[in-house]
Amino acid sequence: MAWIGLVSTARASDPQVIELGGDAFAANVGEHTTEYATDRAHAGRAHNVELAAARLDGAILAPGEELSFNDRVGERTRRAGFREAPEIADGHVTSGYGGGVCQVASTLHVAALRADLDVLEHRTHSFVSTYASPGLDATVSFGRIDYRVRNPHAFPVRVRASAAEGVLRVWIEGAHEVRSPDVQVMIARRIRRGEQVSEDARLAPGARVVDERGRDGAVAIVTVTRPDGTTREERMRYDAMPRVVRVGPR
């Protein structure tokens, strides 16, 4: 077997040389796929998903090494190539550079669970995501909220990511397959969305315009049972996002 030396790329500030065989990444250890919109209205977000995936792609974790999503993908700024797009920040939907990057972190999270990586840092959004089951999304904010995992295996792993034509795929490669943890998601409670109604004199009497459809909230319980028998249970609450409506004068 031919062995080559590669520099670990999980953290640029802490490089190390890893000895790898030619079949070091022959197996798919765990993967997950999500979809994203690519129409004109979502062009900025699609660009950010694809850019973040390209930056995540290729990260190598030696045994025991950690991967920081923020360190790997970098700051989400215009100068860094990101575009403005809708994002959830501090419990509100707003516009900011890097909107869509959380979908990459969320897709990585599920792939990491299936690859039996150690999840060191993980936070969910304030609202239920459209691309992830409740409890399985991951929010990130550069300098504030990170997503971090560690490689617990006796062999290096490589994180791969691709995003094109509306399909985002993250998969983790290693020397051989592993037993995936059993991941169970239970919706303990649904939280019905409310309605915010305001009168708009510009509308005809009796007219009704829905500006935001809103989303129901939820309380999700995620139970992860790893191959060694250890179990971790997390309870996440997602607020309801109200439906925003304008009505004509009475």
pLDDT at residue 183, as a whole number:
95
pLDDT at residue 95, as a whole number:
82
In this structure, are residues 139 and 128 in contact, taking their beta carbons and an 8 Å threshold? Answer: no
* Global pTM value: 0.86
Domain with CATH 2.20.230 in the chain: 181-250
CA distances (Å), origin 36, targets 50, 81, 82, 117, 168: 10, 19, 16, 25, 7
> Is beta strand 157-164 parallel, antiparallel or unpaired with respect to 148-150?
unpaired
> Is beta strand 148-150 parallel, antiparallel or unpaired with respect to 66-68?
antiparallel
CA 108, CA 114: separation in Å to the nearest integer?
10
pLDDT at residue 4, as a whole number:
37
What are the start-end ranges of the E strands in 69-181?
84-89, 92-97, 118-121, 148-150, 157-164, 167-174
CA 131, CA 137: separation in Å to the nearest integer?
8
Q: Which of 52, 56, 57, 60 is nearest to 9 (CA)?
A: 60
Q: Tell the CATH topology of 181-250.
A: Resuscitation-promoting factor rpfb fold (2.20.230)
pLDDT at residue 236, as a whole number:
94
CA 13, CA 99: separation in Å to the nearest integer?
26
In this structure, are residues 132 and 34 in contact, taking their beta carbons and an 8 Å threshold? Answer: yes
pLDDT at residue 239, as a whole number:
94
pLDDT at residue 96, as a whole number:
84
φ, ψ for residue 210, nearest 5 deg: -95, 110
φ, ψ for residue 137, nearest 5 deg: -85, 170
**Segment-wise mean pLDDT, segments of 10 residues, the chain, 250 residues:** 41 54 87 97 97 98 97 97 84 80 98 97 94 96 96 96 98 94 96 94 93 92 94 94 92
pLDDT at residue 88, as a whole number:
73
